[in-house]
Structure 1
Amino acid sequence: MTQITQLACTCGQVHIAVEGAPIISTECHCNSCRAAGERLRHLPGASPYLQPNGGTHFVLYRKDRIRFLKGAELLRDFHLAADATTRRAVAGCCNTPVFLEFKNGHWLSLYASLWPENSLPALELRTMTSDLPAEVTLGHDVPSGTRPTLVFYAKLLAAWIAMGLRTPNIPVNTRLNA
């Protein structure tokens, strides 16, 4: 039997089910993730999600293993710039960040803050550490790459092949200005 994990935004109006194991649990340190974290934390009622070291913890899942059970109509699209190739989706009800999506990606990077306490998959990897400010020191508990590592790309490729090289669309109808 495949494990189903139930996730929800802070106020409980957006519900998501993820099936099986994630592709990877990673912490991103790129400039874009840090900038988005700074902008989104100023939204009314938003909880900060940046880690103490400035990273954003994501759990990556194949799109075909994610179901929006309730509240998908509450999601709002956020782009750092008009020409950005990534978008973030935020629950408009409580300003909880829900996912990051790369244009034409076959996976969603779900924000770790969605997981109930004690059920978050363990961190496996840190990426984009070359963007970190000089004063930030990372622990040696998991591998850290200055860019996405070969392991990261290999896991994404294997997931895409398992999906039959499809890239499902996840519609979000409302835009967020932050």
Structure 2
Amino acid sequence: MSSMTQIACTCGHTRLEVRGAPILVCECLCDSCRAAAERLAQLPGARSTLTSYHATPCAEYRKDRVDILSGAETMREFRLSPTSGSRRVVATCCNTPLFLEMKGAHWLSLYLHLWPAEARPKPSLRTMTSDLKDRARLPADIPNLKTHTVAFYGKLLAAWIAMGFRNPKIAIAGKIDA
């Protein structure tokens, strides 16, 4: 039997359930994750999702292991540009970023701030550190990788194979600008 964990936006209205272990838990330092987090933090009542060294902590989950329990009507997408291949989904009840979805991807990058601190998954690596001007300020507690590795993509591929090469769609009611 797989474990189930409920996670939620800041106010608790929008709740998700994840089943099983994540594919990977990491901190992303790419330019787009940092730019999106900075813009979303400017929404009324929003808090920053960035660490003190500007990383975005996420747990990568297969889409078929994530269920929306409540608050679907509050979920809106945000794109850095109209042609962006990725979208961040925000619970507008309290302007909490929920996840990142890449175009065509079979997984979601769920933001770690959604978990209670005592149950929060721990990142095993940082990725895309090559986008930083100064990598020296990063902690040395986990590997600080310049880019995504073959192992990173291998884990995603293994998850997709286990899903039978399916890519469930997630309907979002609208858009927001930030």
Bin of the TM-score, shorter chain as denominator length: over 0.9
Q: Provide the aligned length of Structure 1 versus Structure 2.
A: 178
Partner of 1:168: 168
Shift of 1:121: 1.0
Partner of 1:88: 88
- Cα offsets for 1:104-137 (capped at 9, x unmatched): 0000000011001211111111110000122652
Identity of aligned residues (%): 52
Q: How far apart, CA to CA, are the structure 2 residues paired with 1:133 and 1:94?
A: 33
Please tell me whether the aligned partners of residues 53 and 136 of structure 1 are also in contact (alpha carbons under 8 angstroms): no
Task: Map 1:23-38; keep pairs closer than 5 Å.
Answer: 23-38=23-38
Q: Which runs of 5+ in 2 are unaligned?
A: none
Normalised TM-score (structure 1): 0.97
Q: How far apart, CA to CA, are the structure 1 residues paired with 2:138 and 2:114?
A: 23
RMSD: 1.0
Q: How far apart, CA to CA, are the structure 2 residues paired with 1:138 and 1:131?
A: 13
Q: How far apart, CA to CA, are the structure 2 residues paired with 1:84 and 1:172?
A: 16
Q: How far apart, CA to CA, are the structure 2 residues paired with 1:57 and 1:132?
A: 16
Task: Map 1:7-156; keep pairs closer than 5 Å.
Answer: 7-134=7-134, 137-156=137-156
Q: How far apart, CA to CA, are the structure 2 residues paired with 1:135 and 1:59?
A: 22
Please tell me whether the aligned partners of residues 43 and 95 of structure 1 are also in contact (alpha carbons under 8 angstroms): yes
Q: How far apart, CA to CA, are the structure 1 residues paired with 2:154 and 2:54?
A: 25
Shift of 1:144: 1.9
- Structure 1 residues 129-138 or 143-152, which shifts more? 129-138
3-state SS, counterpart of residue 118 of structure 1: helix
